[in-house]
Amino acid sequence: MEQKNKLLKRTKWSYSLGGIGRDMTYALVATFFLTYVQYAVGLTAAQFSVIGVILIIGRVWDAVNDPIMGAIIENTRTRWGKFKPWVLIGAVFTAIVIIVMFNWRPMGNAGWNYVIFFAVIYLLWEIAFTMNDISYWSMLPALTTDEKERNSITTLAVVFAGVGAFAANAGINFITVGNAIKGYSMVSIIIALFLVACQLLTVFGVKQTVQTTGEIAADGFRVESKEDKVTFKKMFNVIRNNDQLLWIILAMLLYNVGSGILHALGYNFLYMELGYDGFLAMVFVATFGVSNIGIQAFYSKLVNKFGRNKLLLYSFIAIAVGYLLLFFADLLPFLPMSIITVCFFGIFCFAGQAIFYMILTVNIANTVEYNEYRTNERNEAVIFSLRPFMAKMASALQQGIVTLVLVTSGIFTLSQNVTFLENQKADYDKMDAAEQEEYKLNVEEQKVILDGEEFEDLTEQEKLDFYEMLKQVDYRRNETTGKEEMYINEAADLNFKNKATSFMRWYLRSAITLAPTLLIYLSYLVLRKKYIIDEEMYQMMVKTIAARKNAEGEDFAVT
């Protein structure tokens, strides 16, 4: 028993800590890649719209491939089992892709060449991260079948995933706002290295207690389970015949679309309402991190006290209150728009969403035992491939919503003022002192700066407007490097925040508050009306499975 507890403790921490780097990576691409394109690349509305379409197609294609990756994992036979090889291969491949993604800018800064590059690098990202993502989460049900242990591991894994997302969001905002091109380059390299290090911890630290095909048992012999090799036909039958899995993935789809809208459009909202300020964005992210990690750390205690159904209701109420308060900010005198009120409203949204997500994660894990209870087979990788499948389908819908909102509201076109300043800062900071003096003189005389190929389609008035923007920037000496640098934040506010129309503001606010509330409510209804695996039913299934295996004389040796 003591040896088993030590193994479980080691496994719990190795598995959970490994998720920090994964979610840092996912946050960098899922939340910030489109922001990077919007504020650091420099595209027309048509080019940005095409990128939006590429994102939608790519995410749908990636989602369709997730169950296929699950089948490949199920059929993997190695001395390290079926999960760990793909965890490591996917991590290394992903690290290489994100470094290229944020460091290579084909043919200068922008244009259709970048759109082509985007399509290729995004496809490679999807392939790489899918390898790691499905193998990592598919391992969860194989760690233990004890409900309390599973709740504990799931809680810790999601908490550390939240730590990773929080660290990425805070660091990226602090480093990149007002220094986008250099900042994203540096952040991508740091996160890539952290991803590989964290996943090595999982690969070498985790020990499974549930036998799965391809694992080495304690007696040194390979486990060859009675499950048939997974074919594509069987893969789809596993999904189709598990009614509880189908309902839970529908609930996850609705939840992921709803909860992701605020993340996807939130930075545009902050820049437009509070200013182009990395510190303010970091404060908001800190609120997100503290709310998520704080409430998730108490998930086990909360679910033991209230049960999943009551906790689900309480979490939705918190979500709805937070979004509605944010929508009415500035409309009522006691709800002013400030970083304090935005963070206060965010606490309700983020804490509620954290609990809601925890319940969804545990519920989908429980469908593995439901599948085994009904069919005598677990098929963890196939079943858990549906979690990222729904996340990616949701992401496809989110990207469509984000592109539609930014383009049709005019926010994207206005934000290109900030993109112009970011690119000018990146060029200026690379210059030596003599080149910097010549640059400033050219700005004053309104010549040379805008003679490049990327500016050839501008009218004379548009060029004059850009020169006026450059006259609004500040120049300060960096005490660390001794070099003079360009500071663009105030100029960005003058040409984005101050020029935003009332239509833009309310269009964006409705998209990040009212739409998420409706979608998460629909997810709540699906869970309450259709999902039947409560705590009592789960215990009954586990006991039935154990009795069946004991009757067959199977050995549950720890691998």
| Residue 193 banded pLDDT, cuts 50, 70, 90 | very high
- Supply the DSSP symbol for 333: T
Cβ atoms 107, 113 nearer than 8 A: yes
Cβ atoms 157, 53 nearer than 8 A: no
All structural domains of the chain = 2-207+231-409+501-552 (1.20.1250.20), 417-497 (no CATH)
Cβ atoms 353, 315 nearer than 8 A: yes
- Of these ranges, 140-144, 176-180, 239-243, the one predicted with the greatest mean pLDDT is 176-180
Report the distance separating Cα 83 and Cα 388, nearest Å. 16
Percent of the chain's residues with pLDDT above 90:
33
pLDDT at 214: 47
Phi, psi of 487, deg, nearest 5: -120, 120
Phi, psi of 476, deg, nearest 5: -135, 155
pTM of the model: 0.77
The answer, yes or no, to whether residue 409 has pLDDT greater than 80, is yes
Residue from 172, 189, 171, 43 nearest 118 by CA: 43
Report the distance separating Cα 391 and Cα 372, nearest Å. 24
For 336-387, the pLDDT digits (tens) are 899 999 999 989 998 999 899 888 888 888 888 888 888 888 777 677 667 6
249 CB-side CA count, 13 A: 22
Cβ atoms 505, 272 nearer than 8 A: yes
Beta-carbon contacts of residue 138 (< 8 Å; ≥ 6 apart): 70, 73, 83, 380, 381, 383, 384, 385
| Residue 557 banded pLDDT, cuts 50, 70, 90 | very low
Beta-carbon contacts of residue 380 (< 8 Å; ≥ 6 apart): 138, 139, 140, 141, 142, 212, 368
Cβ atoms 29, 125 nearer than 8 A: yes
Decide which of 31 and 337 is more confident.
337
Worst-scoring range by mean pLDDT, 87-96, 204-213, 238-247? Answer: 204-213
Phi, psi of 153, deg, nearest 5: -65, -45
The two most distant CA atoms of the chain are separated, in Å, by 89
**203 class by beta-carbon count within 10 Å (0-12 exposed, 13-18 middle, 19+ buried):** middle
- Supply the DSSP symbol for 228: P
Structure tokens at 167: 């660290």
Buried b (16+ CB within 10 A) or exposed e, 342-351: bbbbbbbbbb
Beta-carbon contacts of residue 556 (< 8 Å; ≥ 6 apart): 209, 210, 211, 549
Structure tokens at 7: 């193994």
For 456-486, the pLDDT digits (tens) are 777 888 888 888 999 999 998 877 777 888 9
Structure tokens at 216: 């080495």
pLDDT at 254: 93
Structure tokens at 211: 């036998």
> CA dihedral in degrees (220, 222, 225, 227; nearest 10)?
160
Structure tokens at 253: 């789809």
**2 class by beta-carbon count within 10 Å (0-12 exposed, 13-18 middle, 19+ buried):** exposed
Structure tokens at 323: 């979004």
- Supply the DSSP symbol for 221: P
Q: Report the Cα 281 to chain-centroid distance in Å.
A: 17
